[in-house]
A and B are shown apart, each in its own frame.
Chain A
């Protein structure tokens, strides 16, 4: 491959799309995780849990629009192929995201008696969206195969992705809350840690088995040594989370963020591993990045926009996280009374 603009530009968009989806999975992952943990909290704690994600969820969800937007803009052929193959899980995810997103506002604006209903819909929407995303990932990795083994594989990811999101959510709550709710969040993190770990190992082992391509990429000699840091780092991150959640004193000393940070690290490493497995395909074994790309001229037009706005988006996202830094408190539209 030669490095000219027409060959590099699709790669850049692939990277942007990957980063947007990674950002989505991590950022909306903790929102969805908090949503799934909601039924396990007491009533007054629920308000605080929702308040901890209140200022962020809109922007978090928008990363999904960017990711799918880049797929649509830069790889229109893959867009149609992927999304029409994922018709049902996409519809389920959308309904889940709709219910979750609107419950957020309805639960505090509707009359008080209805609040429990909207809390339940908040939970149901979060769970539905997470399960559907797991199903989509599994189905994508098996190249939309409808065989029994592939379906079982997709089902496996569908039921385990929610545990990973719940882990992110619990880690987020450990950072953003204190007192009894924080203690509960630690307990939740402990409860989902092992299922998540088992699921990660299971999926990592199963992926090469369902795809020969991926098997060949990982288990050949020089690469295997070069790739070894990925599983090793995963194990280290997992151990860090395990270590901190088991020791309340460490959290009291202000190291609660380690749980969230190490879960994020796990997500990033898993993403890296996936990216390595799939490259240069955008639809596994069917379409490469270059085959699926739009016309070069169109990519240039949108590249200008991305180059200008993406850094700006990152800057003001950081600004927003700074404004709402620290422990969460009740949300208010007005001036603080």
Chain B
């Protein structure tokens, strides 16, 4: 393999590993704010202890996830320079300030207040702690705002002029709020909500199955299933709008997603099949006549542009085609499972304890990491779908890569992959372990003057 391909794989590995953790934390932090508020609202009642338990376990998850997000994020900021120096040289005037605002407003807000949020519970007043928690939540969301603004600009660039091959900003408002940004941001925030909802629901269900649940588990599970059931139809709607936007600005990406090889009217929807890029057709395709035109253009006779219109300027078809189907499939599963469980919870809402059946709990456990699968699917669609460009239609990926020896890039790629695989396995094992040992320090009582220490250390 050549340096270009190795550098691309290395960046893809980094960004894919990194995105797993912010996807959890962006929404998890708002869940924590909710648990905290409920704890304050139910103070001096028995429920307060339950909310505290939910807060305690998920704060541990948050802290661990945050650490993984930070370290993999730092890697990204260096890789722009080590592997893609051409990108910053050409587009630095625009990408630089957007990244800069991300670091300044968001990263510092999170990182600094995180210490107070995690370890300051008994050192600052209740109110200051709540403010710190809110700051971390706002910081993670702002972080997503700036990064997705830059990512969207690379997909749908506006507001620039090019002088001697270098981008200059002309209109910052147009750059930040570029055409695909509102759709992408909404889509991503909902994806984060769904990822966390299924993570919380899945691990809580696992606690119930294994008999390690505490009072907090029930509350966390109920909140998570409710959030998932509300977010998934919104996500399907937002995804559809995002697709229409992509059709308008990046028709080549849509053609790859749908496997439309030649421009045609009343295009059929390809449910499944094996894209054959050499022959320019989809083998063993299962079509539904005219449906693609209906879904994409909301008109049964509409003409859809095929890949033939974009010679040497369309993405590789198979990865985009498959990633999209994985994402949509996951979304449908999420819809089914969350509504099924939410319906039961709503019907039996009078019962004090969770009334889900064993099968429902198992389904939730199976879906624990479904958000990750869907997120990566969507991420591959959007990022591979942008190829062969780095800034869509303007800068080609191949022109911006650093000229390193392939062996050197390969060696670091292998090192990164080994570290990431090890960390991913450890992360999942530790999540499961923590959910099986959710013990938290118990307050001193006249009967037990010494506070109990939780299993696995205090923090």
Contacts and interface: CB of A to CB of B under 8 A. Distances in A.
Interface of A: 47, 54-56, 58-59, 61-62, 64-66, 68-74, 76-77, 79-84, 86-88, 90-91, 94-95, 97-99, 101-102, 104-112, 115, 294-295, 297-298, 301-302, 305-306, 309-310, 313, 316-317, 320, 323-324, 330-337
Nearest to B402: A84
19 contacts: A56-B115, A58-B70, A59-B108, A72-B80, A72-B96, A84-B402, A91-B82, A91-B415, A99-B419, A107-B457, A108-B457, A112-B457, A295-B93, A298-B168, A301-B172, A306-B104, A313-B108, A334-B56, A337-B443
Interface of B: 52, 56, 59-60, 63-64, 66-68, 70-75, 77-78, 80-86, 88-89, 92-94, 96-97, 99-101, 103-105, 107-108, 111-116, 118-124, 166, 168-169, 172, 402, 404, 408, 412, 415-416, 419, 423, 426, 429-430, 433-434, 440-444, 451-452, 456-459
**A98, A115, A317, A331: most-surrounded residue (chain B CB, <10 A):** A98
Given A295-B168, A334-B56, A61 B74 contact: yes
B88 A80 contact: yes
Given A102-B423, A108-B457, A302-B101, 15 more contacts: A59-B108, A62-B108, A73-B96, A91-B416, A101-B71, A102-B67, A102-B426, A108-B456, A295-B93, A305-B104, A310-B104, A323-B124, A335-B121, A335-B122, A337-B451
Given A56-B115, A72-B88, A111-B456, A105 B63 contact: yes
Contacts of B60: 109, 333
A294 B92 contact: yes
B457 A73 contact: no
Contacts of A56: 115
Contacts of A336: 121-122
B115 A84 contact: no
A337 B75 contact: no
Closest 5 CB pairs of A and B: A80-B85, A83-B81, A76-B92, A55-B115, A336-B122
B52 A334 contact: yes
Contacts of B441: 332, 334, 337
Contact of B423 (A98, A109, A309): A98
A83 B404 contact: no
Given A101-B67, A109-B64, A332 B458 contact: yes
A334 B48 CA distance: 13
Contacts of A301: 97, 169, 172
Contact of A47 (B74, B116, B457): B457
Contacts of A332: 119, 121-122, 441, 458-459
Contacts of A317: 112
Nearest to A315: B112
Contacts of B77: 65, 68-69, 72
A289 B169 CA distance: 21
A336 B442 CA distance: 9
A80 B86 contact: yes
Nearest to A88: B408
A59 B92 contact: no
B81 A72 contact: yes
Contacts of B121: 332-336
Nearest to A125: B71
A87 B459 contact: no
Nearest to B103: A69
Given A106-B426, A297-B169, A55 B64 contact: no
A330 B457 CA distance: 10
Contacts of A80: 81, 84-86, 88-89, 402
Contact of A82 (B75, B81, B103, B459): B81
Nearest to B457: A108
B80 A79 contact: yes
**B81, B443, B456: most-surrounded residue (chain A CB, <10 A):** B81
B104 to A, nearest CB: 4
Contacts of A79: 80-81, 85, 88, 92
**A54, A56, A61, A320: most-surrounded residue (chain B CB, <10 A):** A320
Contacts of A72: 77, 80-81, 88, 92, 96, 99
Contacts of A331: 118-119, 458-459
A297 B443 CA distance: 57
A299 to B, nearest CB: 9
A59 B111 contact: yes
Nearest to B418: A95
A295 B416 CA distance: 34
B97 A302 contact: yes
Nearest to A94: B75
Contacts of B80: 72, 79, 83
B426 A324 contact: no
Nearest to A112: B456
Contact of A110 (B67, B100, B412, B433): B433
B407 to A, nearest CB: 11
A95 B416 CA distance: 7
A334 B104 contact: no
Contacts of A90: 78, 81-82
Contacts of A316: 112-113
A5 B70 CA distance: 35
Contacts of B105: 305, 309
A131 to B, nearest CB: 15
